[in-house]
Every structure is written in structure tokens, then in C-alpha cells.
Structure 1
Amino acid sequence: MTLVSLAARALSSLAVVGASLWLVPALWFRLPGPEGLRTTVAALAAVLGLVCVIVLWWPQASAIRWRLMGSYLMLLVASLAWWASITPRADRDWAPEVAHLVEGQVVTPARDEASPASARTEAATQGEVLHLEQVRNFVWHSAEDYTPRWESRDYPLEELTSVDLLTSHWMGPQIAHTLVSFGFADGRYLAFSVEIRKERTEQFSTLGGMFKQYELAVIAADERDIIRVRSNVRGEQVHLYRVQMPREMIRELLLAYVDEAETLRTQPRFYNTATSNCTTLVYAMMTRLTDGLPLDYRLLLSGYLPEYVADQDALSDAAPFAELKASSLINPAAIAADEHPDGDFSRLIRAGIPGADRPSY
């Protein structure tokens, strides 16, 4: 066997293995039909790929080597065409907790046309109100038992005072769900979460999330819903950090969430566990608002995201990061505040969080 032939077989083997690592789970997760059919087709594709690799190195198989490789190539081309035909949708039978995406618009007050233009502009800016529809405020009795509530709310943008980063650890210290919560002068908080938009009968799969299993959803919710369900109901470890950010940037980030939800309503996209998730989408929004945010492994290992934010000098300067981290766990306070109404719940979970008693700007 010549060096050229050896290299060709090695590259062909790597190509088949790489293609199979995508093809087999893609067929299993997304091929229409019952689980038995999907399992059978995925297994046959895996066997064909394995046989192709074997015959590449088996001298006595030269007669069938290229016919098998040709068959595998045709299967791969057909699968790629099928894969391209799978497009995201906005009209599925969604699970109740992601049945609606938040809808919002900025409403400006009526202007006195007799006043100077500069005065009218200042008054409009100061009086802007963010009107939201489909704000989630579920009452969770257990992980499967809840009272659904979708509400309309108004938030004066001039009363924005803070932004907080929350990480909810559901798979050890490395992996966490990311939430961002905006605080207002009247003590209300509005939390945003980028989530999988699963169908009514679906369950989350980390691997399935890499194979067009779910669409994306942007949910706006009351903290007593979206934080309490994680800390008190599911038992996830939830950490809260006060973020430092210019007031105008807080406003732009809030509106970016609303704009993202509006876009997803008309142009649905697939969730991807690695590239389009609760953390990377926030990173993408922030890069549109500010320059110089570096790519970092902690954007994938989202449990370490607060350390990344601290490295950008964007966490509260009330204490060093080690102290911020040590004080960030809110589960004991959330459990103690379990029966308290919405505003009290948000206030009580921030007790003892460094910097949470003052604005972000």
C-alpha cells in the first residue's frame, strides 16, 4: 500500500466517521415516524458507515469497496436534502409554559404640538412606556401542576434602575440556564429567558437540541414565576448577580429582548444547544450594543458565565468576585419567601446580594 493510498483511505475513513456522527442522531431525532422505525433506520445507517470503514482497510474487499462507498454517499446526499427541508415553525401544539412569546411596543405620551420641538422630544423620551402582552405569571404548585396566567403590563422606561444576571444550575456547576432580570423604581422586576419552545409532548434533550428538535422562545415573566419554579419547585441552584451597565444600555438590552421575540414570531428559528441558546443569544444581543466582548469557553459552559462577566468589569463593584459568588445563592431566601407576593419575593431574594441595594448605573 503506497503512502498516497494510505492517506486517501485514512481521510475517507475520517470523512465517513464524521458524517455518521451527524447522520445517525439526525435520523434518530428527526426522521418522521414511530421510534421503532427511527431506531431501525439510524442503526442501518450506522452499520453501513461502519462497513464502509472496514472495507476501506480490508484488501479482499476491493470488489465491493467503491459500491458500498457510493451507496453511503447517495444516502448522505439524500439525507442532506431532507435535512434542508426541515424548517422551523410557529404553529405547533406548544407546551403551555412556552405557548406565547412576549409581545411589546414602546408607547409615547401625547405631545403638545404647540411646544418647542426640543421640549416635545424630551417629554416623549421621559414618558416612554414599554407595553407588553403575554407576560408569563404562572403559579407553580409542582413541576407538572400549575395555574397558567398570561398578563398585559406597562413599564415606564425612565424608571429602569437595574439589571441582574441569574444562573440556574441544573446539571452540575458547569451548565446553567441564564436569565436576565430588569428592575424598576417601583420595586417591580421583569425577567427574560431564552428557552426551547418545546411541543406539548416533548421533553428536553441536550443532544436533541443540536438536531433541530426545538424552536427558540423568548419568555418575559414575573420573577415569582420564572425564578421560583427553578429554585423552589425544581430544586435547581439559582445564583443572582447585580450587573453594572450604563442606564441607556440597560434600556437597549431590554428592548433588544422584545425585538428578538418579535422577530421570532414572524421568523422562527431553531434552538441549538451549542450555538443558539440562552447564553449565546444574550451574547449576540450585547455585541450589538457594545464593542470588544471576547469569545470565551464560558459562553458554552454557562455555569461559569458570571466569572466571564466579572472579567469584563460588568458585575457590581461592591465586592470582589469571590465574595459576590459566595453570596449569590438565593435558594434559601427564595424558599423562605415562597408564600410572599410578587414584589416581596423579588425584594427578599436580593437580601444580602452585594450591590443589589443600588442601581446598576
Structure 2
Amino acid sequence: MPANPPQRRLLKVFTLLAAGIVWLLLFIGLLWAFGALWFDFPHPGLRRGAAAVFALAAVLVTVFVRPRWRAKLGLAVGILLVIVWWQTIQPRQFRDWKTEVSQPAHAEIEGDIVTLHNVRNFDYRTETDFTVRHETRRLDLRNLRGVDIFINYWGSPYMAHPILSFDFGPDGRICFSIETRPEKGESYSALGGLYRQFELFYVVADERDVIRVRANYRKGEDVYLYRVNALRAREAFMEYIRTVNELYQTPRWYNAITNNCTSAIRQQRAASDRAPWDWRMLVNGFGDELLYENRAIDRTLPFAGLKRISRVNERARAADQDPDFSEKIRVGLPGMQPQQP
């Protein structure tokens, strides 16, 4: 029986909607493939040309190839070829790295003793003028007292950089900062971070390095500090150590969405033990608000009041050369009473 007019109209609407979805997906795929060629084509001098040729070919196929399904198939094949090539690009361990990320950390574990090599502890005079110093630290897991989180903003309230700090009492504090690993002369690009431009790097550092440089020497950066509650500190620390050792053996790519400074923390955990996904894990400038809602940080004050007093830039500048830097920046902050192992 032929379809009646309402059914035909409904079928036409669904057909147009399906076609629109297919074209939208193809457009997104073409846009991604164009970026992959623009950023990752193996010969830097030919990258723009390769991307332009791909874009021109896509336009010609869309305009001139008929019937439409052949045009769609041709575009899909072009995208697939770029994906297959892109997957062959491998991260490297050895390049002409910037000094700050030149020495990857690694650890040896013997029972409760963790020996960390290449702990960064630069002495900064300015952001770019510093004395290079990499150290070996011996940590007793039985001395692990707690965990703090620093949230670092560099201009936008929507995006931030989390740094975890583990307090080992007499053995000192160790920070983990998940970053890109730029080469000399290379700078970060948000768009480039969506592609295979940067290797992933775990900076393992003393607080007087990784916090001082952000709070005291980089312009326009704000650093907030919170005590973390109800965290299995030892388990979390060993997750970091495991990842640090894996990266020391096998480098990985950084990705601004799927493997960044926040999502990488979540991915360290077993899939069954990960926190539920929340949009603030991507727009991580609101990460401290998420932690507050989940009772992961101190709640003795309303969140707005807690955040206001948790900014440590002034304390960090006052304690710049003080050997008790870590203690001085914590004075008066909620939940920062000394903890026992």
C-alpha cells in the first residue's frame, strides 16, 4: 500500500535529517583531517600545502562527483586514509627538549621505600633564568601524611592546571605536574594539542620549584592550594609512580582533550575505580568547585570564601627564599594542620 501524504512527509523529514547528520559528520572529519595534515605532516615546509591540497580535493569531490553517495564515500575514504597515516606517528623519548623537561623521572621500589630519580628542583631567579638541579629522593611510604592539590590559573577562569603534592613528613613533599614536553624553540598551541604535536610529560618536582615558578615568576598566574580529604594517599601516589615509570620506558602523546593534565589523572585509575565523568573535568577551571561538591577538599567554609583565602601568591612571594617555603604558604589555610603518618 503506498504511503499516505503525512507518512511521505515524515519519511522525507527523516531522510533529510539523516543526510544532514552524515554531512555534518563528514564535515567534522574533514576539518579534523585538515588539521592533522596542517600540524602533523612529516615535512614541516609542506604542511600547509598538504592541507590545502586535501581541502581542494574535498571541495572538488563534493561539487562534481555524482551521485551524492559516491561523493560521500570518496570523502569518507579520504578521511580514513588520513586517520590510518596519522596513527603511524609515534612519540619519541629523545629530542632536543627544553631544559625544564629534559630529564624524565623514574623510580625504584623496594618494599616501603621509593627512590625517585630526576626530581626537578630548579632555583629560579626569573622564569627563564634558573640553576638547573635534578635530584634523587628517597621516600618512605610509611611517612606519607596526606595530599594537597594546587590549582594554577594563567588568565582564563575556565581553564586551569592541577598539581598534586604528596607530604612525606621528614622526607619532604613531592609534586606531580602533568604537562606537554616541548622541544627547544617550541611553544604550546591549544589547536596543536589536539593532534600529535607534544609528548606527555610528568614533571616530578619539589614544591619550591614547580609552585614558586608559577606563583612568583610567571606573570599573570594565580595559584590556589587545598587540602585533599578522604583520598587513599598511598594508592594515589603509587598510581603516579607506575605511570612515571611507564613513560620512562614508553613515551605517549599528550592530547588537549583525551590525555591532558586533568584527564590523565583520571586515566591512571582502574576503569572500575574512576570518578564519574563531569564536564568540569574538561573545563577544569571549575575543578576545585567539583572537588568541593564531592567533599574531596575542606568544607568548613562556603566555597567562595574557601577559594578567596586559598590563593597563595602573596604567601609564596613572601617565602620565596625561605627554606620553610612549603610550611609558610600553608599558614592559616583550612585543613592544613599537621597530619601524622
Normalised by the shorter chain, which TM-score bucket?
0.7 to 0.9
Partner AA of 1:104 in structure 2: A
2:234 to 251, 258, 262: 251
Shift of 1:186: 2.6
1:355 aligned residue: 335
With structure 2 as the length reference, what TM-score do the two structures score?
0.87
2:101 aligned residue: 98
Question: In structure 1, the residue corresponding to 2:235 is in which secondary structure?
Answer: helix
Shift of 1:177: 0.7
1:77 aligned residue: 80
Note if 1:242 corresponds to 2:227.
yes
Q: Quote the Cα distance in structure 2 between the aligned partners of 1:160 and 1:8.
A: 56
Which digits, 9 at most, give the CA deviation of each residue in 1:44-67, with x for residues without a partner?
A: 3233334444x2xxxxx5669777
2:248 aligned residue: 265
Shift of 1:217: 1.2
Which digits, 9 at most, give the CA deviation of each residue in 1:191-224, with x for residues without a partner?
A: 1111112222321111111101111111210111
Question: In structure 1, the residue corresponding to 2:39 is in which secondary structure?
Answer: helix
Shift of 1:185: 2.2
1:153 aligned residue: 137
Question: In structure 2, the residue corresponding to 1:217 is in which secondary structure?
Answer: strand
2:280 to 298, 302, 308: 298
Partner AA of 2:149 in structure 1: L
Which digits, 9 at most, give the CA deviation of each residue in 1:328-352, with x for residues without a partner?
A: 10011111112223xx111111122
CA contact (8 A) 1:176 1:302 kept: yes
Extract unaligned runs of 5+ from structure 2. Answer: 1-10
CA contact (8 A) 1:103 1:262 kept: yes
Question: In structure 1, the residue corresponding to 2:310 is in which secondary structure?
Answer: coil
Q: Quote the Cα distance in structure 1 between the aligned partners of 2:205 and 2:31.
A: 38
1:303-322 alignment runs, 5 A limit: 303-322=285-304
Q: CA RMSD in A?
A: 2.6
Q: Quote the Cα distance in structure 2 between the aligned partners of 1:289 and 1:255.
A: 16
CA contact (8 A) 1:245 1:360 kept: no
Question: In structure 2, the residue corresponding to 1:26 is in which secondary structure?
Answer: helix
Extract unaligned runs of 5+ from structure 1. Answer: 56-60, 109-127
Shift of 1:155: 1.7
2:33 to 23, 32, 38: 23
CA contact (8 A) 2:61 2:74 kept: no
Partner AA of 1:151 in structure 2: E
Q: Quote the Cα distance in structure 2 between the aligned partners of 1:318 and 1:104.
A: 37
Q: Quote the Cα distance in structure 2 between the aligned partners of 1:295 and 1:240.
A: 23
Give identity over the alignment, percent: 37
1:339 to 321, 324, 332: 321
With structure 1 as the length reference, what TM-score do the two structures score?
0.83
* Count of residues paired in the alignment: 329
Shift of 1:101: 2.1
2:163 aligned residue: 179
